[in-house]
Amino acid sequence: MIEKVLIANRGEIALRIMRACREMGIQSVAVHSTADANAMHVRLADESVCIGPPAAKDSYLSTAAILSAASITGADAIHPGYGFLSENADFAEMVEEHGIKFIGPTADHIRLMGDKITAKQAARDSGIPCVPGSDGEVVDFEHAKKWANEIGYPVLIKAAAGGGGRGMKVAKSEAELHDAFDVARNEAEAAFGNGAVYMERYLDRPRHIEVQVLADEEGNVVHLGERDCSLQRRHQKILEESPSPALNSSERAEIGKTVADAVRKLGYRSAGTVEFLYENGEFFFIEMNTRLQVEHPVTEAVTGLDLVREMIRVASGHPLDFTQDEVRMNGHSIECRINAEDPFTFAPSPGPVHEYHAPGGLGVRVDSGLYSGYSVPPNYDSMIAKLIVHGRNRGECLMRLRRALTEFVIDGIKTTIPLHQELILNDEFINGAYDIHWLEEYLKAREADGGK
C-alpha cells in the first residue's frame, strides 16, 4: 500500500489530492516554487519541499527537482494532478525507474494518447467512432488536397502534438487550403517542436461531450457517464455539467459502453477521459486525456465516487471494488471555473485577495486554494477556484448555482464570477441549448452592446 504521496502540482488540485490522501491515512508531500511559499497546499500538507524559482520550467516542470524532493522525503508515489508533468510520458517512466509509483496510466499509454495521430488510430482500432479525416500525418500540400477532397470542405488542420486548443487551422475551400496548411505546420513546429499535422472534417456546430472512465490493472473498466464541456472561450472550458442536457439515456448508455469496451481493449489503467464532438446524434472522437481533469468534480457529484481515491487504489494494485451495475448516477451537477481575470476583457488579474468568503449550504462544493490575505501569483494559470453545485435535477442545480454565486466574495482582484452570474440567467443556457461556439458568439454580442 502507498504510504506517502508527493503531489507534483499546486493550487486547488494539490489540495484536492491531499484531501483524498488524508482520508485514506496517507501522508502527503507538497512541492512549491518560491512564489508559492505561502500557498494553501503548502500549509495543509504533512511535509513540503521548495523545488525552485517561480518560473514553472524551473520548478513544477523540473523532473530533477521533483524526483529529488520525492527521494529526500521518502515518498513512495507521485500524483501529477493535471497540467504540468501529468501527460509527460518520460516523466512517468523516470518516476517508475526510481522505484516510485506513478499515480496514473503507464508511460506507454500516455505516449500513445499524447500524439493525436497515434491516439486516433488506437481509438479507431478499439472501436471508437472518429471524425472523418486523414489516415495519419499529412506530409505535403498535394496530400492535403487529396484528403480535403475526400473528407469534404471545410476541413480542419490539426497539430499531432497539439494541446490547449492551439495549433488548429480551418480551410473552407481549396483556395484557403494552401496557406492554412503552411501556417498550421509552421505553428505546430514553433509551438510544439513537432511540425506533424493531420486533417479532419470541420464540424459545424458540435457539442463537446466527454466520457469518464476508471480502470484497474486486472482489466475491470467502468464508465462514469459524461460531462458536457461545450461552454468554451478560445477552446478553453469555462463551465461544465453532468449529465449533458443534449443526450438521452440510451445514447448515454451506448457511448459509455463503447468507451469502456475500447479502454478495456487498450489495457489502460487509472482514470481517463475520452473526448468527443457530438453533432446530429453522432459522436466523433477527438482525444483521450490520460489524467485527472479539472472538471472531474461534476462526475464525483453525480456518482458519489472519489476519483482521486480510486486512482490511488488502482496505483496500489487494488482492483476496483464496484462494478458498472453498481454505478448510480444521481441528479445534476455544474462546475464554474473561476479565473483571476477581468470578466469583460479577460485580462489576467493577479494580486492580493483582501477578503475571501466561499459559499456553502446544501449541494455546494468549492475547490480553491484561496484565503483572505493570499496573493495570487502572476506566474501560473489564472484559474483560482472551482464552484461545483449539485441538485436533484438541472433546475434545482441552477437555482443553487445562482444562490452560491451571489454568496461568493473574492475581494481585491477581478474574477470571472460576474460572467457566470450573467451566463446562468441566459435563456439559451437555461434551456441547455448551446454548442462549442455559443459562448464566443455571446461574448461578441455583449461587446457590441458596449461591454455589458
Residues annotated as catalytic are 291
**Shortest Å, Cβ 438 to ligand ADP:** 11
**Shortest Å, Cβ 164 to ligand ADP:** 5
Alpha-carbon distance 427 to 430, whole Å?
Answer: 5
Query: What's the angle, vertex CA 181, arms to CA 176 and CA 186, rounded to 5?
Result: 135
Q: Which of residues 385-444 bind ligand ADP (CB under 6 A)?
A: 436
Q: Which of residues 109-138 bind ligand ADP (CB under 6 A)?
A: 131
Of 80 and 162, the one with the shorter C-beta distance to ligand ADP is 162
Q: In terms of C-beta density within 10 A (0-12 exposed, 13-18 middle, 19 or more buried), how is residue 445 classed? A: exposed
Closest CA to 381 of 69, 3, 12: 12
Of 156 and 271, the one with the shorter C-beta distance to ligand ADP is 156
| Among residues 60, 84, 91, 202, the one that binds ligand ADP under rule CB under 6 A | 202
**Shortest Å, Cβ 214 to ligand ADP:** 21
**Shortest Å, Cβ 232 to ligand ADP:** 6
Closest CA to 273 of 246, 304, 322, 237: 237
Number of chain positions touching ligand ADP (CB under 6 A):
19
Residue found under cell 483572505: 372
| Among residues 286, 353, 376, 419, the one that binds ligand ADP under rule CB under 6 A | 286
CA-atom Rg of the chain in angstroms: 22
Of 261 and 275, the one with the shorter C-beta distance to ligand ADP is 275
Stretch that binds ligand ADP, among 36-44, 200-208, 209-217, 358-366 (CB under 6 A): 200-208
Alpha-carbon distance 213 to 143, whole Å?
Answer: 36
Instruction: Tell me the per-residue interface mask from 154 to 173 with ligand ADP, x by CB under 6 A, - otherwise.
Output: --x-----xxxxx-------
The H or E element containing residue 398 is: helix 394-407
Using CB under 6 A as the binding rule, whether residue 184 contacts ligand ADP is answered as no
Using CB under 6 A as the binding rule, whether residue 208 contacts ligand ADP is answered as yes
Distances (CA, A) of 94 to 48, 50, 97, 199: 21, 20, 5, 33
Q: In terms of C-beta density within 10 A (0-12 exposed, 13-18 middle, 19 or more buried), how is residue 279 classed? A: middle
Of 156 and 171, the one with the shorter C-beta distance to ligand ADP is 156
Using CB under 6 A as the binding rule, whether residue 152 contacts ligand ADP is answered as no
Q: State the angle between helix axes of 63-73 and 89-97 in degrees (0 to 180), rounded to the nearest 10.
A: 30
Residue found under cell 497539439: 162
Distances (CA, A) of 269 to 79, 105, 216, 221, 336: 14, 5, 5, 8, 29
> Is-contact 123 200, C-beta < 8 A?
no
Using CB under 6 A as the binding rule, whether residue 39 contacts ligand ADP is answered as no
Using CB under 6 A as the binding rule, whether residue 182 contacts ligand ADP is answered as no
Using CB under 6 A as the binding rule, whether residue 275 contacts ligand ADP is answered as yes
**Shortest Å, Cβ 177 to ligand ADP:** 15
Using CB under 6 A as the binding rule, whether residue 331 contacts ligand ADP is answered as no
* Cβ count within 10 A of residue 340: 25
Using CB under 6 A as the binding rule, whether residue 268 contacts ligand ADP is answered as no
- Written as nine digits, the cell of 390 is 449539485
Using CB under 6 A as the binding rule, whether residue 279 contacts ligand ADP is answered as no
| Among residues 65, 85, 203, 410, the one that binds ligand ADP under rule CB under 6 A | 203
Task: Specify whether the backbone of 221 is left (phi greater than 0), alpha (psi in -120 to 50) or beta.
Answer: beta
| Among residues 43, 178, 235, 444, the one that binds ligand ADP under rule CB under 6 A | 235
Using CB under 6 A as the binding rule, whether residue 340 contacts ligand ADP is answered as no
**Shortest Å, Cβ 228 to ligand ADP:** 11
Stretch that binds ligand ADP, among 17-25, 98-106, 201-209, 413-421 (CB under 6 A): 201-209
Closest CA to 81 of 41, 120, 46: 41
User: Given the rule CB under 6 A, which residues bind ligand ADP?
Assistant: 131, 156, 162-166, 200, 202-203, 206, 208, 232, 235, 275, 277, 286-287, 436
